[in-house]
């Protein structure tokens, strides 16, 4: 069988949400740019609260990272806790961590309230140590997290690791039972339909080409030009992630787009699936250039990694199939003869400081920088900012923290230096 260069998750969606048809309204309360998890989550809450909201997605709904990811609904943030506390102070970081836990509860609540059939499961995640030194750091990291956030992580020594993962190559692991798994495409699809049911107007295949403040200077009033026509919006919410375009150049300069690629194998026999992942965890390793992997609900091995640091491209998708298969066999020699059925890629949105950011830019609301935590974090941030637009107090710990621009060469639309950054992290993985 030839490998399908296609996102496996999309093949599991029976009835994709249909975008709105017909003319644009002249005026809306809020225009949302981007129909991924962040934009759809915001649109759902805004519509629920009686706000006239119109969302624009340049491609199909969920076309960006939101349908292409590993479906890992993860706790925590990318950076180590001491680094975070040093940067932002204990109180802010405690609120950030609480938000990361709350975001998983929110995904679960939305799935239940809206009746979304997307295989949400509180299966927990497992981080595996690629080096003894990485494992040696786990105990201190877990103690710190318990101390600071009263959140429990479990350390798994190498001699007990077989109960968690059928791989001989790791030095131990750390489990967080709060994390979850989801079928991301079905989740996005259900979220879009829920937003529509509540009254949000979702235009797919409609690109926003420019946003400008109204010429009369009226504050809180924007002219939004799209490929389907123009409208006026009291507020604009930029939820365009790694795909942020020249339509909003100031935000674009802050986003670092990094490619990530995934393969999905044929369906594994039940015994083999139970051997490779006995507890069905969401798994990732301790490197910078990391692998992340899991079983799909129908027992395929879904294995992802940053095969390159470029934004996603067709040629990289093709090359990734073999690169990732080799990585998968290193982890799981027993999958040597397992066939790869799917390969696809997507682009993650990083900020220079590896943090999520939200707030206002040139008068528009925005939320970006979710990196590999966006399934939960983008859902939460979209809903949170929607609340702020409706007048809730802004107690979001991620708004108002400094948001550095990306250096030339790393930023969206100008990424020539990304391979150098990739090489740097590879060397770092080798050295540390």
Ligand X SMILES: Cc1cc2nc3c(=O)[nH]c(=O)nc-3n(C[C@H](O)[C@H](O)[C@H](O)COP(=O)(O)OP(=O)(O)OC[C@H]3O[C@@H](n4cnc5c(N)ncnc54)[C@H](O)[C@@H]3O)c2cc1C
Residue 194 is encoded by which pair of tokens?
A: 């829920």
By beta-carbon proximity to ligand X, the closer residue of 57 and 127 is: 57
Nearest approach, Cβ of residue 354 and ligand X (Å): 13
| Other CB atoms within 10 A of residue 64 CB | 29
Nearest approach, Cβ of residue 64 and ligand X (Å): 3
Query: CA 15, CA 33: separation in Å to the nearest integer?
Result: 23
Query: CA 425, CA 412: separation in Å to the nearest integer?
Result: 19
Query: CA 346, CA 30: separation in Å to the nearest integer?
Result: 28
Nearest approach, Cβ of residue 213 and ligand X (Å): 17
Q: Which of 135, 179, 130, 181 is nearest to 155 (CA)?
A: 135
Nearest approach, Cβ of residue 188 and ligand X (Å): 8
By beta-carbon proximity to ligand X, the closer residue of 171 and 173 is: 173
By beta-carbon proximity to ligand X, the closer residue of 189 and 260 is: 260
Strand ranges inside 61-216, DSSP E? 72-73, 125-128, 154-157, 172-176, 180-181, 201-203, 208-213
| Other CB atoms within 10 A of residue 23 CB | 9
By beta-carbon proximity to ligand X, the closer residue of 60 and 334 is: 60
By beta-carbon proximity to ligand X, the closer residue of 171 and 276 is: 276
3-class secondary-structure state, position 328: helix
Query: CA 334, CA 269: separation in Å to the nearest integer?
Result: 12
Q: How far is CA 187 from CA 40, 182, 263, in A?
A: 11, 7, 20
By beta-carbon proximity to ligand X, the closer residue of 161 and 317 is: 317
The residue with its CB nearest to ligand X is 374
By beta-carbon proximity to ligand X, the closer residue of 171 and 283 is: 283
Q: Are 124 and 178 in contact (CB under 8 A)?
A: yes
Q: Is the dihedral of CA 209, 210, 211, 216 positive or negative?
A: negative
Residue 313 is encoded by which pair of tokens?
A: 């491209």
DSSP letter (8 states) at residue 44: H
DSSP letter (8 states) at residue 22: S
Query: CA 81, CA 164: separation in Å to the nearest integer?
Result: 25
By beta-carbon proximity to ligand X, the closer residue of 35 and 171 is: 35
Nearest approach, Cβ of residue 120 and ligand X (Å): 13
By beta-carbon proximity to ligand X, the closer residue of 63 and 342 is: 63
Q: Are 364 and 385 in contact (CB under 8 A)?
A: no
Residues at the contact surface with ligand X, assessed by CB under 6 A: 33-39, 56-59, 63-66, 68-72, 74, 207-208, 239-245, 247, 260, 262, 304, 346-348, 370, 372-376, 378
Nearest approach, Cβ of residue 280 and ligand X (Å): 15
Nearest approach, Cβ of residue 284 and ligand X (Å): 8
Q: Are strands 27-33 and 53-56 parallel, antiparallel or unpaired?
A: parallel
Nearest approach, Cβ of residue 251 and ligand X (Å): 10
Query: CA 76, CA 54: separation in Å to the nearest integer?
Result: 32
Nearest approach, Cβ of residue 115 and ligand X (Å): 22
Nearest approach, Cβ of residue 49 and ligand X (Å): 20
By beta-carbon proximity to ligand X, the closer residue of 165 and 171 is: 165
Place of tokens 């940053």: 306
Instruction: List the alpha helices (DSSP H) in 181-278.
Output: 184-197, 249-252, 270-276
By beta-carbon proximity to ligand X, the closer residue of 172 and 257 is: 257
Nearest approach, Cβ of residue 133 and ligand X (Å): 26
Q: Are 356 and 398 in contact (CB under 8 A)?
A: yes
């Amino acid at each position: 069988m030839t490998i399908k260069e296609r996102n496996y998750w999309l093949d599991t969606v029976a009835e994709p949400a249909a975008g709105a048809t017909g003319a644009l309204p002249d005026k809306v309360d809020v225009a949302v740019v981007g129909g991924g998890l962040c934009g759809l989550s915001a649109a759902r809450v805004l519509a629920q609260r009686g706000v006239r909201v119109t969302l624009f997605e340049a491609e199909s709904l969920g076309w960006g990272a939101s349908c292409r990811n590993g479906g890992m609904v993860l706790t925590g943030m990318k950076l180590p806790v001491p680094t975070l506390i040093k940067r932002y102070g204990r109180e802010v970081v405690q609120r950030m961590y609480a938000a990361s836990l709350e975001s998983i509860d929110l995904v679960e609540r939305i799935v239940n309230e809206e009746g979304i059939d997307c295989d949400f499961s509180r299966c927990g995640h497992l981080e595996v140590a690629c080096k003894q030194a990485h494992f040696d750091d786990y105990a201190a990291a877990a103690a710190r997290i318990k101390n600071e956030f009263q959140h429990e992580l479990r350390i798994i020594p190498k001699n007990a690791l077989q109960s968690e993962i059928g791989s001989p190559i790791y030095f131990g692991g750390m489990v967080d039972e709060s994390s979850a798994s989801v079928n991301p495409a079905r989740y996005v699809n259900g979220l879009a339909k829920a937003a529509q049911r509540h009254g949000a107007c979702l235009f797919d295949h409609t690109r926003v080409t420019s946003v400008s403040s109204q010429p009369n200077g009226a504050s809180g009033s924007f002219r939004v030009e799209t490929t389907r026509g123009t409208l006026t919006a009291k507020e604009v919410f930029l939820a365009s992630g790694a795909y942020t375009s020249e339509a909003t150049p100031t935000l674009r300069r802050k986003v670092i787009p990094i490619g990530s690629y995934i393969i999905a194998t044929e369906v594994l026999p039940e015994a083999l699936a139970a051997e490779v992942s006995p507890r069905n965890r969401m798994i990732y390793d301790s490197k910078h250039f990391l692998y992340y992997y899991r079983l799909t609900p129908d027992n395929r091995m879904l294995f992802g990694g940053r095969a390159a640091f470029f934004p996603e491209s067709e040629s990289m998708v093709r090359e990734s199939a073999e690169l990732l298969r080799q990585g998968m066999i290193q982890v799981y020699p027993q999958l040597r003869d397992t066939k790869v059925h799917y390969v696809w890629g997507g682009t993650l949105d990083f900020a220079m400081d590896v943090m999520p950011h939200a707030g206002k830019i040139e008068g528009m609301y925005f939320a970006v920088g979710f990196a590999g935590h966006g399934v939960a974090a983008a859902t939460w941030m979209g809903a949170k900012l929607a609340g702020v637009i409706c007048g809730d107090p802004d107690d979001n710990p991620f708004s108002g923290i400094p948001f550095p621009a990306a250096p030339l060469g790393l930023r969206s639309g100008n990424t020539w230096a990304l391979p150098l950054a990739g090489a740097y992290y590879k060397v770092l993985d080798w050295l540390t």
